[in-house]
Amino acid sequence: MRISNRAIEAMDIAAPPPPPLSDLSERALLLDIDGTILDIAPSPRQVWVPTGLRRTLTRLADLTAGAVALVSGRSVNEIDLIFSPLQLAAIGVHGAQMRARSDGEVQSRAAPLSKALKRRLSAIAELGPGVLVEDKGYALALHYRLAPDKEAEVLAAIRRICSDAAGEAVEILPGKLVVDVKPAAINKGGAVCDLMRCAPFAGRRPIFIGDDTTDLPVFGVMPKLGGQAYSVGSIVAEVDGHFDGPQAVRAWLAQIAAQGEGR
């Protein structure tokens, strides 16, 4: 078992948002979902796609010849349902799934958690109302946004169960009022590196925008990919700039979609 203990580091320096882009012919856009382009909701199923965002993402996909990907802890199937009828390239379940093209097949990059471990983790919901279980197939998440006072109990129970996971190599990944348990061998950063080797992303300079500790592995790989990283909410040590919140991210994306030029 490995516990992710890196935290987003607040900094006192100013970190501006990225400047407007006019030429997207050599760029790729990699976007986290919850807390980045969508506002955080009380539960995972209550997220709402604001008016105009699908149109913006569609335009950006056209301008980049398809080099726009959603990078999320959600499964690719759930990403597609949320943004339907729009379908984009995607990385799902923190890197366990990848689809390099909008019309491509979803590739598995890890084995799912065992049913036995999921059953034990799911029993943590008995701690009280507001602790919600989300089975992501490859991973399992325990949300306590509706019961923030349960944070210590939820994390302690997860650690106790995972320490006796019968040889199953897992990582405990705390996020914003949620804890994911996922296979230790995968993360968003590794999946992004693989994605950037595939058409239509290969040869492009990526821009990644994320908001949570689960996005730190992607922030870390941007320099070696010749890319840039921007945080949302908190300011992170290794990023190039910062957005105040999802509304600011959506406004910037709409701006570059309106004035951008593709191939």
Tens-digit pLDDT profile for residues 161-190: 998 877 789 999 898 899 999 999 899 999
Q: Rounded to an integer, what distance in angstroms lies between the CA atom of residue 25 and that of residue 231?
A: 23
Instruction: Please report the pLDDT score of residue 261 as a whole number.
Output: 60
Tens-digit pLDDT profile for residues 10-26: 444 456 667 777 789 89
Nearest by Cα to 26 from 63, 69, 73, 59:
63
Instruction: Please report the pLDDT score of residue 78 as a whole number.
Output: 94
What are the structural domains of the chain? 8-109+186-259 (3.40.50.1000), 115-183 (3.90.1070)
Q: Rounded to an integer, what distance in angstroms lies between the CA atom of residue 56 and that of residue 123?
A: 41
Catalytic site residue from 23, 32, 34, 62? 32
32 part of the active site: yes
Full-model pTM: 0.86
Give one word for 107, left, alpha or beta, with left for phi > 0 and alpha for psi -120 to 50: beta
Q: Rounded to an integer, what distance in angstroms lies between the CA atom of residue 6 and that of residue 22?
A: 35
Tens-digit pLDDT profile for residues 35-70: 999 998 887 788 999 989 999 999 999 999 999 999
Residues in the chain: 263
What is residue 86's DSSP assignment?
-
